[in-house]
Amino acid sequence: GYVDNSDDCDDLDPSSYPGGAEVCDSADNNCDNSIDEGVQTTFYSDADGDGYGATASPVEGCVLPPGASVNDSDCDDSNPSISPLALELCDGVDNNCGGGIDEGALDASDWYVDADGDGFGATGTPIASCSQPSGTADNDGDCNDDVATGSSIHPNAPELCNTTDDDCDGLIDE
């Protein structure tokens, strides 16, 4: 029961001895006069309680403290509806902490290219945007969006006797 040194910092704890493995237990397991060094986790304040913390004021610890998070992904820790898992909305705010404002917004409107400027967009893939992009229309009813000839051909145009479907109803000269 004796040894030739007095280096053990806690002779009553068999897991604490010089060179021992440090573990998160509020004890000096390796007898170097430091407690839980190198084994603590960094936690971040989660002021809004959404599960995502902010980079300001990180704290080290062995257990997640109340009001903290294991990540620092929250871009607005004062608003619980803003976090990396939030849906992006057309509101001028980066809801999902993606680095952009209103990108891929859930409530974005569909806009269609209106090359001939007649107020009717061409059938095709819509452009989702929170505000109307230049050169687009909010509908896809134009059957001829050609800049040179299409401006007089659209769903509200009068049908003329000219062998063309002027009103985009699928019929010619009706």
Per DSSP, the three-state class of 132 is coil
CB 97 within 8 A of CB 83: yes
- Statement: the pTM of the whole predicted model exceeds 0.85: no
Q: Is 85 left (phi over 0), alpha (psi -120 to 50) or beta?
A: alpha
Cα angle: 115, vertex 121, 127; to 5 degrees: 95
- pLDDT tens digit sequence for 14-68: 889 999 999 999 999 999 999 999 999 999 999 999 999 999 889 999 999 999 9
């699928």: which residue's tokens? 170
User: How far is the C-alpha of 66 from the C-alpha of 60, rounded, in Å?
Assistant: 13
